[in-house]
Amino acid sequence: MISSLPKWVNNLFENSLRPNVKVLFVSDISSQIKKVSFQGDISKMNFQVGYANVIRVSETEYRNYTVAHHDIAEGILEIIFYIHGNGVGCRYINTLREGDEIYISLPRGRNEYDPKVKQQFIFGDETSLGIACSFLPVLKQNGHQFQFYFELGEENKEAPGILGLENFTVFSKNGLFRNEKWIKDLPILKASDWQEANFILTGNVKSVQVFRKVLKETATGKILSKGYWLEGKKGL
């Protein structure tokens, strides 16, 4: 995904990049996490679990975000934003107020959901709360066994419960998921009936890489991984 384009390219496609949704409501889940509801014509959007939408955050910059909830009939979609650091995306999202109009692209990407697998495991951090929320109703409706593991900062530990997530475990964001030996001792990896689960790993690139390495050595299920951000790296 290209995170930035020259201004002249943006100007060339200005008509297609004009605002197409309006901010309906902004809710502070924590000091760093916001849930923003947008309303507009989303009838042509094909929402699939794991897909991402692009938001234009400046004249030349774009960022990927996962829709947490959508209602095509009402024209409403919700996105959960992690406001951390001073990047252009965080600065832009932090300024959004009710009534603001912005551009959000059609969803695209890779469908992360496999309905044939009974056990589903989703790992991530604050940037993964949106995909977790999009997974939840599908997993419940189709009778899956599921577990969410989150590594979160202290100020965000209540966020999964506030967002209505279920079957989740919260871990401190203190480098535990960079420790292969510690990961191997997690209960989920000790349970024989979870060895063939569908493992979806998202969030911090380094945590995803280490967790994926351990799973490839200890589990037989399918592993889907997508790092959302990396320290010092702009526009993943």
Q: What is the pTM of this model?
A: 0.90
Q: Hey, how many other C-beta atoms are within 10 angstroms of the C-beta on 139?
A: 20
Q: How far, in Å, CA of 163 to CA of 29, rounded?
A: 8
Asked if the model's pLDDT at residue 8 lies above 50, the reply is: no
Place 110 in a pLDDT band, splitting at 50, 70 and 90: confident
Q: What is the mean pLDDT of the chain?
A: 90
* pLDDT value, residue 5: 54
Asked if the model's pLDDT at residue 1 lies above 50, the reply is: no
Asked if the model's pLDDT at residue 62 lies above 90, the reply is: no
Is 51 in contact with 107 (CB distance < 8 Å)? yes
Cβ burial 190-221 (10 Å sphere, 16+ → b, else e) = eeeebeebbbbbbbbbebbebbbebbeeebeb
List, for residues 72-92, the tens digit of each pLDDT value: 999 999 999 999 878 888 999
* pLDDT value, residue 6: 56
Asked if the model's pLDDT at residue 233 lies above 70, the reply is: no
List, for residues 138-190, the tens digit of each pLDDT value: 999 999 999 999 999 999 999 999 999 999 999 999 889 999 999 999 999 99
- For the chain, domains (ranges, CATH) are 7-102 (2.40.30.10), 119-229 (3.40.50.80)
* pLDDT value, residue 149: 98
Place 69 in a pLDDT band, splitting at 50, 70 and 90: very high
